């Protein structure tokens, strides 16, 4: 069964990608979507068996892979609790994204290629999470990177899409370099790439040292930090985050797939899989905590200033990943995975809901040109409402809460209980929760409430103009009279059923995923049995987390309510307030709107110098040196020699005799010198 789950998406990708000319778009969509739903149907029983306590961890061999000296590893599929969680996350979201894409990509002429990329992406992610050795994990790691490059730049005729794809590819290669060095170092230290063998031997390496960059440093700290650099790139942590918002250039289903369940979760999964290694280094855990908290704060602040509906959700992804990492940093790996699990449902829901809004609004993505949509697309509205309630952590302690209420609050409680740097991370997380509530409800109010502002949109104006032109052409009427209600005569329509069904399914997850599964994920006794050594579960920490003061448990709800009130006051009660506030804090707002100037800084430090060196090597090195003295120089020398020879060939006999005489004299002179 595990082999079928992993390889069905690959088979479907090959059929759709290589056979698209023969089978057509419909068959390609049927094959890929059917394969993913089959994989999803086989994944849930495995996960539920571990939840029930009767699941068995094991390794399924595929083939012998590499045997080279002391380096030996096979292609094996590992299944345990951690793998089972990732299987349901990946296959569920991917299957729903495939179905959603039937309508969203209906008019695209390259549908087979798109669905092939989606399935290839899913296969690579499944390869990653079932890896039993670091090389196989890296194989899936790079496969995900390749597929993301293809998907982000799917509309390759669009310059911004190409730029975004290249940016994602380059930034992730920076992180992957760290990951590779970590794998090389791990093999050097442990003599194996087998994950079980490494994790078993890791505690014994505590306190040892290794030479790195000419310095004698703690072995496990260096290895863990190098591995974490890879996680930073793949999961878009501060410093290597710049690619994630630009990934919005890909189609909305791609955004949902990348941000909710696959690529960005790979880093969190890797840290949790190798958690026994990270537990041997307090410094590495401190770095993970700091980077996670900083990312959480950075993305939340930037999200409050964005107008593009997909970018707001993208920055919320970045922020939520920060929660997951600082949870891992304080030792609450189960809480990190729980938030990954619930986040997959409500974040996929929000992205696909945003796609439904964009579909209804003729590809308009600027929230300033929305408003009053809840009556026109009510199903989309309620789906996004469920996602918003989940991400903001709405719930009443001891009664009921949406998905994010259990998982995010579990992280915050564990961070506070861990003490030290965890308390600082707790307060950062509380402030980020306030901002998350504000920008999430801001999105809802700007999109679905207030007055219609569609008439100001160029996309809507073009749609109305085209409709009027068609109407005039058919009926000979004149343009409809201009409306004064802000709609410009445009009437949004609800999305078709292939887009609405995934929204409904994900809504169920956003509402109930936290309530039904919080005990096995984060409770002390239940969690220890559930995780069963698939990660380093600290039962003592989770016990302390549930005994934190009552104000710690209620603070996330309070800041959620404050964020909701601020958003309502700013965008419903007094819509002119945000503009006045921005005018007062102009420099601060500009700093946040420009994403802390990371793009400009990287452009100054890396992009421009790289282009300068490129031009230098091109003009001075390639053209000025290699070409000049190489092929071009030799060609010029031969050409000049040919011209000289042509001049010497006068056609007169005495000229040739004179040259022969000179040659004879030179030969005799050389002979006399040699035998002297």
Q: What is the pLDDT at residue 349?
A: 93
d(CA 412, CA 429): 7
Phi and psi angles of residue 544, each rounded to the nearest 5 degrees, phi first:
-65, -35
Q: What is the pLDDT at residue 127?
A: 93
**Per-residue pLDDT reduced to its tens digit, 457-482:** 777 777 676 665 555 544 444 444 44
Q: What is the pLDDT at residue 265?
A: 86
Token representation of residue 218? 């703690």
**Per-residue pLDDT reduced to its tens digit, 646-672:** 766 666 666 677 777 878 888 888 787
**Per-residue pLDDT reduced to its tens digit, 68-118:** 877 778 888 999 999 999 999 999 999 999 999 998 888 888 888 889 999
d(CA 262, CA 124): 9
The set of residues, in sequence order, having a beta carbon less than 8 Å from that of 429 and lying 6+ positions away, is 293, 296, 323, 326, 408, 411, 412, 415
Phi/psi zone of residue 191: left (φ > 0), alpha (ψ -120 to 50 degrees), beta? Answer: left
Q: Give percent of the chain above pLDDT 70.
A: 94
58-90 core/surface letters (b: 16 or more CB in 10 A; e: else): eeeebeeeeeeeeeebbbbbbbbbbbbbbbbbb
What confidence tier does 234 reach under pLDDT thresholds 50, 70, 90?
Answer: confident
pLDDT for 311 beyond 60: yes
d(CA 370, CA 358): 10
With contact defined as beta carbons under 8 Å apart, do 416 and 371 qualify?
Answer: no
What's the mean pLDDT when you consider all of the chain? 87
d(CA 661, CA 644): 19
* 483: Cα within 13 Å, side-chain hemisphere: 15
Q: Which residues pair with 68 in a beta bridge?
A: 71
Averaged pLDDT for residues 449-459: 82
With contact defined as beta carbons under 8 Å apart, do 182 and 233 qualify?
Answer: no
**Highest-pLDDT range among 182-186, 240-244, 632-636:** 182-186
Q: Give percent of the chain above pLDDT 90.
A: 50
Q: What is the pLDDT at residue 35?
A: 94
Averaged pLDDT for residues 590-610: 82
Q: What is the pLDDT at residue 554?
A: 94
Q: How far is CA 605 from CA 178, 241, 615, in A?
A: 20, 16, 16
The set of residues, in sequence order, having a beta carbon less than 8 Å from that of 133 and lying 6+ positions away, is 73, 74, 76, 193, 194, 195
With contact defined as beta carbons under 8 Å apart, do 327 and 339 qualify?
Answer: yes
d(CA 32, CA 35): 5
What confidence tier does 196 reach under pLDDT thresholds 50, 70, 90?
Answer: very high
Tell me the Cα Rg of the chain: 31
pLDDT for 410 beyond 50: yes
Q: Which residues pair with 58 in a beta bridge?
A: 79
Averaged pLDDT for residues 244-270: 80
Q: Point out the least confidently predicted range of 30-44, 326-340, 385-399, 630-644.
A: 630-644
**Per-residue pLDDT reduced to its tens digit, 328-356:** 999 999 999 999 999 999 999 999 999 99
Averaged pLDDT for residues 625-641: 74
Q: What is the pLDDT at residue 167?
A: 82
d(CA 283, CA 285): 5
């Amino acid at each position: 069964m595990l082999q079928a789950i992993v390889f069905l998406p690959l088979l479907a990708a090959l059929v759709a990608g290589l056979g698209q000319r023969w089978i057509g778009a419909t068959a390609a969509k049927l094959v890929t979507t059917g394969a993913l739903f089959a994989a999803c149907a086989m994944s849930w029983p495995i996960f539920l068996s571990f939840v029930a306590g009767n699941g068995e961890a094991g390794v399924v061999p595929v083939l012998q892979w590499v045997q080279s000296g002391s380096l030996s590893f096979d292609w094996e599929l590992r299944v345990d609790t951690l793998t089972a969680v990732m299987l349901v996350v990946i296959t569920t979201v991917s299957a729903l994204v495939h179905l959603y894409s039937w309508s969203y990509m209906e008019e695209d002429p390259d549908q087979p290629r798109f669905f092939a990329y989606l399935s290839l992406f899913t296969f690579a992610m499944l390869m990653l999470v079932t890896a039993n050795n670091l090389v196989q994990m890296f194989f899936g790691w790079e496969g995900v990177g390749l597929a993301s490059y293809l998907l982000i730049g799917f509309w390759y005729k669009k310059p911004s899409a190409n730029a975004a794809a290249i940016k994602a590819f380059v930034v992730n290669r920076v992180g992957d370099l760290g990951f590779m060095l970590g794998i090389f170092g791990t093999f050097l230290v442990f003599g194996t790439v087998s994950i079980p063998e490494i994790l078993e031997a890791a505690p014994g390496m505590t306190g040892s040292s290794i030479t790195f960059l000419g310095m004698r440093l703690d072995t496990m700290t260096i290895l863990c930090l190098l591995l974490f650099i890879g996680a930073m790139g793949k999961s878009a942590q501060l410093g290597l985050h710049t690619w994630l918002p630009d990934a919005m250039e890909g189609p909305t289903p791609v955004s949902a797939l990348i941000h909710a369940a696959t690529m960005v979760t790979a880093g969190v999964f890797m840290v949790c899989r190798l958690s026994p290694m990270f537990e041997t280094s307090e410094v590495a855990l401190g770095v993970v905590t700091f980077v996670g908290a900083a990312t959480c704060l950075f993305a939340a602040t930037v999200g409050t200033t964005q107008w593009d509906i997909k970018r707001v959700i993208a920055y919320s992804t970045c922020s939520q990943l920060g929660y997951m990492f600082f949870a891992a940093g304080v030792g609450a790996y189960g809480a990190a995975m729980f938030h990954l699990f619930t986040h997959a449902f409500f974040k996929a829901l929000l992205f696909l809901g945003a796609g439904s809004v964009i579909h209804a609004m003729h590809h308009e993505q600027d929230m300033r040109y929305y408003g009053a949509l809840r009556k026109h697309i009510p199903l989309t509205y309620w789906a996004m409402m469920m996602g918003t309630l989940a991400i903001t952590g709405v719930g009443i302690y001891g009664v009921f809460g949406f998905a994010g209420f259990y998982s995010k609050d579990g992280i915050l409680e564990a961070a506070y209980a861990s003490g030290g740097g965890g308390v600082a991370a707790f307060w950062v997380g509380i402030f980020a929760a306030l901002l998350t509530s504000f920008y999430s409800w801001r999105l809802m109010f700007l999109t679905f409430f207030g007055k219609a502002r569609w008439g100001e949109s160029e996309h809507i104006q073009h749609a109305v103009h085209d409709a009027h032109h068609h109407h005039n052409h058919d009926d000979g009427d004149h343009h409809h009279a201009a409306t004064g209600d802000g709609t410009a005569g445009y009437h949004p329509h609800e999305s078709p059923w292939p887009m609405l069904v995934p929204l409904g399914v994900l809504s169920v997850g956003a509402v109930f995923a936290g309530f039904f599964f919080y005990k096995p994920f984060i409770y002390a006794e239940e969690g220890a049995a559930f995780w069963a050594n698939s990660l380093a579960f600290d039962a003592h920490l989770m016990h302390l987390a549930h005994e934190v003061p009552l104000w710690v448990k209620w603070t996330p709800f309070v800041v959620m309510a404050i964020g909701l009130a601020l958003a309502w006051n700013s965008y419903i009660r007094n819509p002119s307030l945000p503009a006045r506030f921005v005018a007062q804090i102009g420099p601060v707002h500009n700093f946040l709107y420009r994403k802390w100037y990371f793009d400009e800084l990287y452009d100054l430090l890396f992009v421009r110098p790289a282009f300068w060196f490129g031009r230098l090597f091109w003009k001075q090195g390639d053209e000025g040196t290699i070409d000049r003295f190489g092929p071009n120089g030799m060609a010029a020398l031969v050409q000049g020699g040919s011209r000289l020879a042509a001049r010497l060939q006068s056609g007169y006999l005495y000229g040739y005799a004179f040259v022969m005489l000179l040659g004879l004299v030179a030969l005799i002179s050389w002979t006399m010198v040699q035998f002297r």
